[in-house]
Structure 1
């Protein structure tokens, strides 16, 4: 069989045949959500089919999910009807895994109650899965090194800022980021990660609002692709920046929560982590890769978010 190509006109028929032949799984309806993610209906239940290139990630996730079968809010992999845990497309090496579809509504961090849901769910998740032992295959990279790499990627886009008359914005971001990185380098990130691995902490790794699904007042977590044994600080840094991305957010949006209060007061890893504009740079890099987006409006929106972020930084520094 040729590799499964979502852009192929015969994609649906070939996928149906592939699933039936290799997984004894018969599809009634299917709909592509995005590249390598497909929603399936077998006539009785709905599923998500997802393709992976890295077998080690799949193995780690399967091992982890076997430890959390009693945690109903975690959406785990499910074997195919013939018992196979994943199906490999031998033509392109892609591994296809099955997860139950969770019907419901994604959280929106614009709403306070949804931010409450996210904080409570992540706190519960961290507590419930601490101590789980599974093989890990990802080579650990410290947070500070990841931020250095992110900044190097951003620096390569200088020409776009020059061409659209936003060179001053570019220079502000680079200067601020370098200052924060210099402070980060004074911290012992290797020790922080070593403690997390020794205590067997686990983080979800992608706490975007769409990875929390509300169903009848219950919250489910989906998409564990970035699961890793890492310090909790990394998770809370990301969630804090997700909250701060909302137009009406301020430092008081974070201070409603004891976890953020404690981290801001006592934890320099968290403090410098939220001051580094990782989320804004990531969003910018994603936007410019989208050929359908016009650079002018994108860079203008980026400028507005940057000014808002600088107000947040000033608020934080005035309180610390």
Structure 2
């Protein structure tokens, strides 16, 4: 499998996107469960089926381009494949010296945003991204090698990873999270997402409250014709110090909704956003206290 990914990484992005679009539609056609979930999530967001339909091919393109993004040599920058919209917001946030938490939903090419940040600011403000270690050994090797780029560090989804992110923010660095990812049981809270209760991580709000970090949202727009990507940075809602885990999570969900509705054709509507959270199986002792707490809350 690693050899296959290595071979795919050498193909032109245009070909990868074409293959990915076909794979996306095949997945949709061959999986009734995926089709039902996809349609239900689009409808839950108040969108017409036609507005979500482009996301079928987009999901396949996301998978296909991963090999190119992960296995591209660290010495090969994104260069002309990427342009910025709102980079000045990151400059302004970093100038405050309190660290920057940057959030992106499962939308567009979210892998490219971390690499883009690392290339532009990594020399002075490295970015740390939260990730869940892959279960398969070959996949762990690929992920570890691909995400270990200059200016880009990874934090595992456990107590040590949370402490690593807190340290990074307190040192004025950048941390990246996908807040629409369903966290393990005990590490989130139930709040509405597009009008339906969804188990939502409380980590993002806690990090801001503990460190005073600035907060922004970002997404990597995938341009048609494999012309590259646009990293679009936008302001995020302020999270008051007195916010409860529930109110902070609700603010973040609303910010993700607003971002997704700007380009619904690039959101992963097939993601099981409304599923029940899994049990803690990431090597973290279950935190004490009410649901919504998270490991490292007192660090």
Q: Please give the TM-score of this superposition, normalised by the length of structure 2.
A: 0.25
Structure with more of its chain in helix, by fraction: 1
Q: Please give the TM-score of this superposition, normalised by the length of structure 1.
A: 0.24
Structure with more of its chain in strand, by fraction: 2
Larger Rg: 1
